[in-house]
Chain A
Amino acid sequence: MNTATVRSTGARVIPAPVARAALVAALIAVWQVAPTIGLVDPRLLPPPSVVGPMIVHLFGESGFQGHLATTLLETVIAFLVSVPVGFILAILIGENKYASDIFKPLVFFVFSIPKSIFLPLFIFAFGISFHQKVAFGVFSTLFIVMMLSFAAIESVRRDHLVVARSYGATRMQTVLRVYLPGMTPVLLEAIRVSMIFNFTGILLAEMYASREGLGNVIEQWGQGFQLDRLMATIVVIAAIAIVFNETIRALESRCEHWRE
């Protein structure tokens, strides 16, 4: 409230959401106009009037449906494995001082390494397969989940724990009624950021070597110069990522005051 009033020295003629929508609309308009008037080659940049119908068309193609389903399934499985496993590992490590001293630096080391360089190893281990994609997705996500979970555990206020103890909370009650809600805001952030890592890992693995999945078709259609299909797929993937991210962000803002 105060920062906004301090900063808005000039009159705010247009509300921010409207301005933002206008900006996006303007970009789409440029994307439409530039290839139409010949500013760029329409084969290099197919305009929205081509890409839009192509999206509809792709959703009707059973081949594309299969690719979409494969990618979503890999992503969901990798996510459902990496988030709980990373979270539980982080609790086991974070709870014990000795374990923290041993494992935390190692987690930070591994986190700092770009995960893509391990892709060939995953192919050796799992072959080019569904399992390999999921395994690589988990590997890409696990360490960021652990790092953010450490932060979530530390975000629980000590005085909240003391209060619970002074009112005789059992260990289980403390976990369920203080730790979990106390961690929720940071945990939601962890889920949101982890999904970005997870989705990236899956798509990368598909682009690198695969027979199916959205990453695979992007690679194929890029190589085959089918830019209308490529652009349509990019828009679909972007939409999926944004919708997931915004959903979690909406939940986050609902419990924003929990951090106080």
Chain B
Amino acid sequence: MGLKAVVNSPSPAASTDESGAVEVTNVGHVYETASGTTEALTDISFRVETGRFVSIVGPSGCGKSSLLMMIAGLVQPTRGTIIAGGRPLVQPDPTRIGVVFQDASLYPWLTARSNVEFPLSLRHVDRKIRRERAEAALELVGLAGFADKHPHELSGGMKQRVALARGLVQDPPILLMDEPFAALDEQTRLTMGDEVLRIWERTRKTIIFVTHGLSEAIHLSDEVLVLTSRPGKLVDRVAVDLPRPRSFEVMGGRRFEELRERIWQRIRS
């Protein structure tokens, strides 16, 4: 397999901080529908250390979303176990894991602020604290002045920022993002990528980021997990040994091309 050989070595072996670690062991998932069964994922195992930025790439339909939903506790794996933040997950736990979806999925009847406060209000957090935290989260994503706007008054990129703030508002150690910028135009996508990196560097959360953009995955991540489809299988783990911050030169350099080529080959095989 050669899997071991490519596992990111610069990650400090001393990392015993389980608070943001995600451990996926022999996970498989089968969907049962009226028209039959679909084996979405089979025998997936990997571990993400606390504070790491890991991307998952793979062709559409290979089970990336399913995998993320299982880590979030929204879907139960048919096989295997998932441990997040040191404990198994039997149902969604928003204090451990925040999720950002492809469509921002904001509630159109709530303002940006109320959307961000939503997770807190579900837990009956005191109104004042709720407000403070929502403001802080909106400021973190660069939307301080837009708290009172409704989603229909915001651009696609701004909506995703609100969704990001909503994911961050309870300060979970783990953040899952499912193709969060796929619906945005190229330029906004690049800006949002930088934004996520800035937030990651400030908060040092574990981020698991699903994308089908190979460049985006390499640009952002410490490590790229490569899935292939039918059924979804983990075929490679590529450590991105490019120095940060990843400047324009680094991204246009030879090593970047090598990594990109390798991931591309693995996806096609």
Q: Which residues of A approach B to under 8 Å, CB–CB?
A: 157, 159-160, 162-170, 173, 177-178, 181-182, 184, 255, 257-260
Contacts and interface: CB of A to CB of B under 8 A. Distances in A.
Given A159-B101, A173-B122, A257-B150, A166 B109 contact: no
Interface string B101-117: 10101011100000000
Q: How large is the interface on B (under 10, 10 to 19, 20 to 34, 35 or more residues)?
A: 20 to 34
Given A159-B101, A257-B152, A260-B152, A167 B107 contact: no
A258 B99 CA distance: 22
B151 A168 contact: no
A57 B99 CA distance: 66
B74 A165 contact: yes
Contacts of A167: 92, 94, 118-119, 122
Contacts, number: 55
Contacts of A166: 72-74, 92, 94, 99
Contacts of B152: 257, 260
B101 A168 contact: no
Contacts of A181: 107, 109
B74 A168 contact: no
B148 interface: no
Contacts of B123: 168
B172 to A, nearest CB: 10
B94 A159 contact: no
B93 interface: yes
Interface of B: 72-74, 91-94, 99, 101, 103, 105, 107-109, 118-119, 122-123, 150-152
Nearest to B121: A177
B122 A162 contact: no
Nearest to B99: A166
A169 B122 contact: yes
A169 B92 CA distance: 9
Contacts of A173: 122
Nearest to B163: A163
B103 A168 contact: no
A198 B142 CA distance: 51
A178 B99 CA distance: 18
Given A257-B108, A257-B152, A260-B151, 4 more contacts: A167-B92, A168-B93, A255-B109, A258-B109
B105 A163 contact: yes
Contact of B92 (A168, A177, A260): A168
Nearest to A161: B105
Chain A to chain B: the 9 pairs with minimum beta-carbon distance, closest first: A167-B119, A257-B152, A159-B105, A181-B109, A167-B94, A166-B99, A258-B109, A258-B108, A166-B92
